[in-house]
C-alpha cells in the first residue's frame, strides 16, 4: 500500500471556499471524510463517495490529515480543541491544517496545545478566492515544521497550483496578511483611480477592462517583488538600473496624475504617498521628480 493509500484526509467546513477545495480531494486514494454543520452541504460529497462525520472528533477518528475552513478564530478553536473537537480523538502524528485566515498568535497557541498530544497544527491560509478554489488554482501559504509540511504538500496539490512553505507555524498567516495588505491597499488605490477617471469624464468600466488586461500581462504589483530584501541597493547592484527606471517612470506618471487631479479638484492622497515613497520602497531612493515635489510641498 502506498503512503497516499494509507492516509485518509478529512475536511471540516464546506462553505464557499471549503466545498470546492474538498471536492478536489474526492480523488485522494486514501479516501475523504467530510463534516459540516449543514447536512445539505455534506450530502453531495457522500453521493460522490466521501464518508460523512457528525463532528470534528468523528473526522479525527478516521483521518490523519485534516483541513479546516471555518469562519474565524473562535470557530477554529472550537473545531480543534472544543468538547467534540479534533484533539479529543486525534491519533499521534495527525496533522491539522487551518485554511481560515486567523490571527497568527491563535495559530501558534493552538499548535502548542496540539503538540502536547503529539499532533501537528499548521496554518495554511489560501489565496485565489472562490474562483481559484473552483479551478484548483489556489496558492497555499503553509506555516509548519518540515515533517508536517511533507504530510500536507501532496493533498494540498490537488486543490492548489502553488504550495509554499512559509516557515514555522504562524508564518503562513503572516504571509497571508502581507499578501492581503497589498490586495486591499490596491483596491483602495483602484477607487482613487476611478475617482480621477470619473472626474475626467471617462468610462470607469472601460478603465477597469484596461487594468485587468494589462495586469494579466505585466503581473501587476507582484511584478516588482523579486528581491530577497527591502534594503537600499548599491548603484553597482544589477537590480539598480532596472528599479531606478521603474521609479523614474512611476514618478513621472504619478506627477502627471496629480497634476490632473489638481486641475479637476480631486484629492489623491495615495498618489501623493506613492510619489514620496516609490523610489525608497524600490530600494533606489527618491528620484528628481519626487525630490522636487517634496520641496514644493514642504
List residues bridging with 164 in a β-sheet.
Answer: 141
Task: Give the DSSP letter string of 153-222.
Answer: HHHHTTTEEEEEEEESTTHHHHHHHHHHHHHHHHHHHHHHHHHHHHHTT--HHHHHHHHHHHHHHH-GGG
Q: Hey, CA dihedral for 145, 121, 124, 108, is it positive or negative? A: negative
Q: State the Cα–Cα distance between residues 196 and 267, nearest whole angstrom.
A: 9
CA distances from 230 to 153, 185, 224 (A): 29, 19, 11
209 catalytic per annotation: no
List residues bridging with 142 in a β-sheet.
Answer: 165
Q: State the Cα–Cα distance between residues 9 and 85, nearest whole angstrom.
A: 16
Task: Say which of 23, 117, 176, 252 is annotated catalytic.
Answer: 176
Residue with cell 470619473: 198
Q: State the Cα–Cα distance between residues 137 and 162, nearest whole angstrom.
A: 8
Q: Which three cell numbers stand for residue 199?
A: 472626474
What residues are labeled active site? 176
Amino acid at each position: 500500500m502506498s503512503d497516499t493509500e494509507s492516509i485518509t484526509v478529512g475536511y471540516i467546513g464546506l462553505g464557499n471556499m471549503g466545498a470546492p477545495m474538498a471536492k478536489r480531494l474526492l480523488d485522494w486514494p486514501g479516501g475523504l471524510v467530510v463534516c459540516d454543520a449543514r447536512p445539505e452541504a455534506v450530502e453531495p460529497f457522500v453521493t460522490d463517495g466521501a464518508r460523512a462525520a457528525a463532528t470534528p472528533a468523528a473526522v479525527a477518528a478516521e483521518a490523519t490529515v485534516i483541513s479546516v475552513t471555518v469562519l474565524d478564530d473562535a470557530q477554529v478553536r472550537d473545531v480543534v480543541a472544543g468538547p467534540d473537537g479534533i484533539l479529543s480523538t486525534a491519533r499521534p502524528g495527525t496533522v491539522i491544517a487551518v485554511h481560515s485566515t486567523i490571527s497568527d498568535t491563535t495559530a501558534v497557541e493552538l499548535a502548542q496545545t496540539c503538540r502536547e498530544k503529539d499532533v501537528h497544527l499548521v496554518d495554511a491560509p489560501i489565496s485565489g478566492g472562490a474562483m481559484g478554489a473552483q479551478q484548483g488554482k489556489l496558492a497555499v501559504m503553509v506555516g509548519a515544521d518540515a515533517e508536517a509540511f511533507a504530510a500536507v504538500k501532496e493533498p494540498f496539490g490537488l486543490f492548489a497550483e502553488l504550495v509554499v512553505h512559509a516557515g514555522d507555524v504562524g508564518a503562513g498567516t503572516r504571509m497571508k496578511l502581507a499578501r492581503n495588505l497589498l490586495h486591499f491597499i490596491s483596491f483602495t488605490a483602484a477607487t482613487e483611480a476611478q475617482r480621477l477617471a470619473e472626474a475626467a469624464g471617462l468610462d470607469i468600466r472601460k478603465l477597469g477592462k484596461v487594468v485587468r488586461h494589462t495586469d494579466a500581462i505585466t503581473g501587476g504589483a507582484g511584478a516588482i517583488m523579486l528581491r530577497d530584501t527591502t534594503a537600499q541597493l548599491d548603484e553597482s547592484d544589477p537590480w539598480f538600473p532596472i528599479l531606478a527606471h521603474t521609479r523614474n517612470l512611476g514618478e513621472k506618471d504619478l506627477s502627471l496624475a496629480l497634476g490632473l487631479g489638481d486641475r479637476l479638484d480631486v484629492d489623491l492622497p495615495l498618489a501623493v504617498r506613492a510619489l514620496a515613497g516609490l523610489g525608497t520602497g524600490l530600494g533606489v531612493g527618491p528620484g528628481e521628480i519626487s525630490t522636487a515635489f517634496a520641496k514644493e510641498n514642504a
